[in-house]
Amino acid sequence: MPDRLTWITHPAHELASNAKLREDWNQLNASTTRQVFMDAEAISCAIKHFGTGQERLFVGTAQGQIVCMAVLSRIDALRWSTFQPSQIPLGAFLIAPHAGLDTASAALLRALPATTLVLSITQLDPLYVPRPADTATLRLDDYIETGWIELTGTFEEYWAARGKNLRQNMRKQLNKLAAEGTVVEFRTISEASDMAAAVARYGEVESAGWKAESGTAIHPDNEQGRFYTELLTTEAAHGRALVHEYWLDGGLAASNLCLVHDKTLVVLKTTYDEKYTQLSPAFLLRLAQTQSAYETGEVDRIEFYGRKRDWHTRWTEKFRTLYHATAYRQGWIRRLSEPRRDANP
């Protein structure tokens, strides 16, 4: 693709208030990531709760077609970056499939103030943005490995392919619950009117655990809680949000906050009540969630979008590497910055 892109910029908050911008963003997303957390409503919600008010929305057009849209933040006089709160798995950057990341990032960098030397595009998914080769002015860096479950065949076939330890552990826990007469309930919450209560329950469980001590727990009265309540309520109104819960004798043992679209379910957040730790409640919920997905046929892919952990390898053998892209205005700027970057990876 030629790098002759025409750029128009707006205050990023207009993504929420401008119907045309919202439509353009969602149309581009529909041909790229197709992920709910990347739609205009989700990005606008994140800007509202985690933005500084200084973010800018860039719209890139080539031959009369929008081929790139990005929400960017100024880091300092010399650097800009994609808007990237931790609650959104990918950077706020959309690029048409036929457009090249190398040429588009170079064009976007030139659309920024002339003092800008570096543009960071964070957390790109090679599934939607093919990873190009490094160039004199573009550096690509691995971010994390992330896993997913591909729901092919039957649940019985999937489960038989899991490791012996996982299958034995789950069987042991389920047998124990049955022997003790524990009432087990797997719940799916999908109505918009029920999302606030579901997020509040999630927050109560998480706030009682170790995350409360680290200050990272969701709570209905903190910004994270307000964000997830608004996000899930908004998306559930369009059939794009679910909360899966695992209850034991009327008590919430584990909860997953999820988005779902195009037969792909994304698990945004997971928590469990630590008093049930010996029962592996998060695993019991994962088992029930996966089995339900097979049975209903509504989902054929479960995405984790989190750093690869040992427990992920028990549920799937499929992983890919998300990556960062850094565009430099000139090759000498990259050469000058790399010794410092390599010393502080």
Provide the residue-wise pLDDT of the chain in tens; the chain has 345 residues. Answer: 445 899 999 999 999 999 999 999 999 999 999 999 999 999 999 999 999 999 999 999 999 999 999 999 999 999 999 999 999 999 999 999 888 999 999 999 999 999 999 999 999 999 999 999 999 999 999 999 999 999 999 999 999 999 999 999 999 999 999 999 999 999 999 999 999 999 999 999 998 865 555 556 787 788 999 999 999 999 999 999 999 999 999 999 999 999 999 999 999 999 999 999 999 999 999 999 999 999 999 999 999 999 999 999 999 999 999 999 999 999 988 988 876 655 555
Confidence at residue 98, expressed as pLDDT on a 0 to 100 scale: 87
Query: Alpha helix (H) ranges present in the chain?
Result: 14-17, 19-30, 40-50, 101-111, 155-160, 164-179, 195-207, 210-214, 223-236, 281-296, 310-315, 331-343
Torsions phi, psi for 48 (to 5 deg): -60, -45
CA distance 91 to 68: 13
- What CATH number has the domain bearing residue 281? 3.40.630.30
| Whether residue 59 sits in one domain with residue 138 | yes
Q: Are 292 and 189 in contact (CB under 8 A)?
A: no
Clarify whether residues 162 and 290 are in a common domain: yes
* Residue 272, domain member (yes or no): yes
Same domain for 83 and 127? yes
Provide the CATH number for the domain around residue 15: 3.40.630
At residue 217, the pLDDT reads 73
Q: Same structural domain for residues 96 and 212?
A: no
pLDDT at 97: 86
d(CA 328, CA 337): 10
Q: How many domains does the chain have?
A: 2
Q: Are residues 195 and 255 in the same domain?
A: yes
| DSSP character at residue 2 | -
Is residue 59 located within the same domain as residue 125?
yes
The whole-number pLDDT of residue 208 equals: 83
Q: Are residues 179 and 204 in the same domain?
A: yes
Q: Are residues 326 and 293 in the same domain?
A: no
Q: What is the dihedral of CA 182, 183, 187, 191, to 10 degrees?
A: -140
Range of the domain at 35: 6-144+321-343
Q: What is the pLDDT of residue 4?
A: 81
Q: Which residues contact 166 (CB under 8 A, 6 or more apart)?
A: 283, 314, 315
**Rounded Cα distance, 171 and 209, in Å:** 26
Q: Is residue 100 part of a domain?
A: yes
* 95 and 10 in a common domain: yes
Residues contacting residue 277 through CB under 8 Å, at least 6 positions apart: none
Q: Can you give the pLDDT at residue 341? A: 59
What local confidence, expressed as pLDDT, does residue 1 receive?
44
Say yes or no: 268 and 225 in one domain. Answer: yes
Global pTM reads: 0.93
Sequence-separated (6 or more) residues with CB below 8 Å from residue 101: 95, 121, 124, 129, 130, 131, 132, 138, 325
Q: What is the pLDDT of residue 210?
A: 56
Q: Do residue 136 and residue 156 come from a single domain?
A: no
If asked whether residues 235 and 333 sit together in one domain, one would say: no
Q: What is the pLDDT of residue 338?
A: 79
